[in-house]
Amino acid sequence: MITFWIVALLLSLLASAFVFLPVLVSSRRAYKGGSGDQARSAINIEIFKQRLAELEASRAEWVVTDEVFEQLKLELEQELLADVQSDREPRQAPEKQAAAQTGSSNLLLPLTFAAVIPLLAVFLYADWGLSFGSMSDVLLAEELDLVQQADHTEQDMSGVIRRLRESLSNQPENDEGWMLLARSLVKLGEYEQSADAFETLLDRYPQDHLLRSYYAESVYMADARQITPRVQQAIEATLALDSESANVLEMLGMEAYVSGDHASAIDYFERIIAQNVSPERTQMLQQSIAEARELLGESAPVPAAAASSQTSQQPPGIKAAKQIFNVLVEIDNKLPVDANDTVFVFARAAQGPPMPLAVERMMVSDLPRMVRLDDTMSMLPERNILTVGQVQIVARVSRSGEPTASPGDYQAISESLTVDSRTQVVKLRISELVK
């Protein structure tokens, strides 16, 4: 940050010089403007000398008498005196004085601007910039790092989230920040607020089924785990996009279980297990199924060993599914980048929020390099490469060190790639300037 402020100050001083120097030069020229009057006086004297010489020649040749010569000479001298006085006294002296006064007044304004420009730049960057400019991105990045640290108490976490929310209030397009805010609020049990954060993302990506399911889950928890009208509306909107949404199926299964419809609850829970959810979630669902079957009088609770065996019999295509992208990343050697600049290589959904589904970080000095991206590298287990139909692979040189694109970065973006559970090879050459 110190280097940044030094560079910013130098650039501000350079901008001040562009304002001040041209005015200073023009003021000096204006002050020296009297030199034109001196030139005219010299011409008048030269003309006087020439005409006097002509008169003397005429007197020597007896063309004019001495008396006429003296009279004409006197007239020439009076005319010369009048011209010189006209140039020097009524015009030159006042003009010099006026020029000096004008020069002083003209210098005052540029000097003021030269001093104000750096101060104004610092003020704008440090004040307005906190909400609308690049400084906001720096502070937001610091807030994101704090939120992701695991050693925070709930009180510390609440304070960080509050500052994060304030930072995001003027950045509606920062999808990564809004997603992190929403998920963090869920962890704190602030379900109503998390629903608001997910709704902000839905305004931009109304067709994203995962965002719909997250929003439905938040309003369900906020409404005391009851299917209220708004929860029902959120569930229907999610199922219209994804009829097998695990989050929604679990809500419906729990509602059916509580209302005594155990057969429907078992059906919902089994549909969730078929999607290869986490082992912890699978165990919980298996236990709920066993309890529901016992209430129906079908069988005794399923032992843990049986649950494990049943889990291992899930459809192999789902259990074994693993999408791998081997990405060869190169960079145009003519790009003005530093060897220590950060490079991000990540996969993102071709349609929907641009949050990375899998990401790898390195430096420019590491390129060219083959990078492996797969569905185990996601920051959110519920959202990885296998949860979307098509992805794009992005390789970006980040001058700021943050994965979000900023003007001045360089990148390469692949075409949309179909996710089909096989290894795919992608070649990217970083050359495009981010504007």
Query: Which tops the pLDDT comparison, 154 or 291?
Result: 291
Query: Which of 249-253, 352-356, 361-365 has the weakest average pLDDT?
Result: 352-356
| pLDDT band at residue 110 under the 50/70/90 scheme | low
Residue 167 has a CB neighbour count (10 Å cut-off) of 22
Over range 238-256, report the average pLDDT.
91
Fold identical between 137-319 and 324-433?
A: no
Model pTM? 0.48
**pLDDT, tens digit, for every residue of 141-188?**
555 555 555 445 555 566 777 777 777 777 778 888 888 888 888 877
User: Which pLDDT score, from 0 to 100, does residue 420 have?
Assistant: 78
Over range 283-292, report the average pLDDT.
85
| CATH number of this structure's domain 324-433, picked from the four choices 1.10.3430, 1.10.3470, 2.60.40, 1.10.260 | 2.60.40
Query: Which of 250-264, 285-299, 329-343 has the weakest average pLDDT?
Result: 285-299
- With respect to CATH, is domain 137-319 assigned 1.25.40.10? yes
User: Which pLDDT score, from 0 to 100, does residue 267 have?
Assistant: 93
Contact (Cβ atoms closer than 8 angstroms) between residue 207 and residue 242? no
pLDDT higher than threshold 80 for residue 237: yes
Query: Which tops the pLDDT comparison, 407 or 68?
Result: 407
User: Which pLDDT score, from 0 to 100, does residue 341 have?
Assistant: 92
pLDDT higher than threshold 60 for residue 354: yes
Nearest to 41 by CA among 78, 87, 77: 87
Query: Which tops the pLDDT comparison, 392 or 3?
Result: 392
Please report, for the chain, the start and end positions of each structural domain, with discontinuous segments joined by +. Answer: 2-132, 137-319, 324-433
List C-alpha distances in Å: 322 to 244, 354, 386, 420: 20, 21, 8, 9
